Amino acid sequence: MYISSVLLLPLLSGSAYAHTYIWGVFVNGVDQGTFRGIRTPAYNGGPNAGGYANSPVKDVGSIDLRCNVLGDIQAPDTLKVQPGDNLTFDWHHDYRNDTDDVIASSHHGPSLIYISPDPPTENSFVKIWHEGLYESLPFPKPGKWSTTSNVAKNFGHMNVRIPKDLKAGFYLLRAEMIGLHEGESSFLTNPRRGAQFYPDCVQIEVTGNGTVDLPKGVSFPGAYNYSDPGIVYDVYCSTETKSRTTGGPCTTTYPIPGPTVWSGAWAETTAVSVGPVSGTTTAAPWSTWIQNSVVTSATYTDRRSVTVVGSSVYVAKWSTTYQTPAVATKRW
């Protein structure tokens, strides 16, 4: 069954029912427009109950770990970039401005960025940047982590550069934040706990005359396992020798999950000054949502006046060849 990309664009209500996801991308400091080129995650609540955009993916074997829920649905536009360009992902929680908290203050963990040809294939995701625990602090302080002490403190900005001399073509940038606040046990053994993954994908077209091909990478799902020490990890160990939650031994270092950063990535990824936001800073009320793989669409006046107009079961269908995104006439 075909569902249009316009219908599936998740539309955020004005209430605080959102986990973090990318609202915009700055290229060399210039905003490309709110939600442009971004495969924005679906809303997972109903019309009268709390829910989230980018509700965390916790099953490391799920296809949703690739680009989040409905991640196979293309955005109707693609961002043009060149090798060496500085990209700044603008992550937010409720509003696209500097007053937004970006991510809950408890959601300590690493940040990671991968690049893959679009569409992805087996072992096509190549890591080009990551950051994890960069300062340990005495218990009970969790230390300084990328998600909460870097990205959140810098207004949601996560920075990366397009690899030098990268061959022209269509690519996906898979950016991710991982919350480890419940990560002392795995989702496999305790579905109420486990690391929380917040992946989001951005469509880019690399232009120019580059000749560098991406090397073999990893697959999503497949890159992470519950046995990985960076997936099951107690962020509150800090300098203690014994965990206060599990009773097990602690470590003051953190092994970032996934592969090492590709040698062809930039050694230094520094922040750049960004200009004003182009586009809306608050998304419209939800008109579609997904629960247990059922997509529901509705007409919406407010939470007391919602009329369901249709529903259907959704199964992710990733193409094996590049498809030009459909032109959308309306985004929100």
Between 129 and 241, whose confidence is greater? 129
Per DSSP, the three-state class of 307 is strand
**How many whole angstroms separate alpha carbon 328 and alpha carbon 332?**
10
43 strand-pairing partners: 53
Q: Residue 100's domain spans which residues?
A: 1-325
**DSSP output for 9-42:** S----SSS----EEEEEEETTEE--TTTTB-PPP
**How many whole angstroms separate alpha carbon 109 and alpha carbon 258?**
14
Q: Tokens for 310?
A: 């249709």
Among candidate residues 269, 282, 278, the one with its CA nearest the CA of residue 37: 278
> What is the predicted pLDDT for the residue at 244?
65
Segment 252-274, tens digit of pLDDT: 789 999 999 999 999 988 899 99
Segment 132-166, tens digit of pLDDT: 999 988 877 889 999 999 999 999 999 999 999 99
For residue 33, tell me if it sits in a domain.
yes
State the distance between the two ends of the chain, measured CA to CA, in whole angstroms: 23
For residue 331, tell me if it sits in a domain.
no
Q: Residue 125: how many CA atoms within 13 Å on its side-chain side?
A: 24
**Mean pLDDT (whole number) for 171-184:** 96
For residue 162, tell me if it sits in a domain.
yes
Among 20-24, 292-296, 312-316, the range with the most confident prediction by mean pLDDT is 20-24
For residue 133, tell me if it sits in a domain.
yes
**120, amino acid identity:** P
Among residues of the chain, what percentage have pLDDT more than 70? 86
For residue 193, tell me if it sits in a domain.
yes
**231, amino acid identity:** I
Q: What CATH code is carried by the domain that includes residue 230?
A: 2.70.50.70
Strand intervals (E) in 28-132: 30-31, 79-81, 86-92, 111-117, 126-131
The CA dihedral of 270, 257, 290, 288, to the nearest 10 degrees, is: 0
- Its pTM stands at 0.91
Pairing of strands 294-302, 305-313: antiparallel
Tell me how far CA of residue 130 lies from CA of 70, 73, 75, 140, 265, in angstroms. Answer: 24, 26, 25, 25, 11
For the chain, give the mean pLDDT. Answer: 88
For residue 330, tell me if it sits in a domain.
no
Q: Tokens for 330?
A: 């309306």
> What is the predicted pLDDT for the residue at 167?
98
Position 304 pLDDT exceeds 70: no
For residue 332, tell me if it sits in a domain.
no
Tally of structural domains, the chain: 1
Q: Residue 96: how many CA atoms within 13 Å on its side-chain side?
A: 23
Segment 202-230, tens digit of pLDDT: 999 999 999 999 999 999 999 999 999 99
Q: How confident is the model at residue 239 (pLDDT cuts 50, 70, 90)?
A: low
For residue 140, tell me if it sits in a domain.
yes
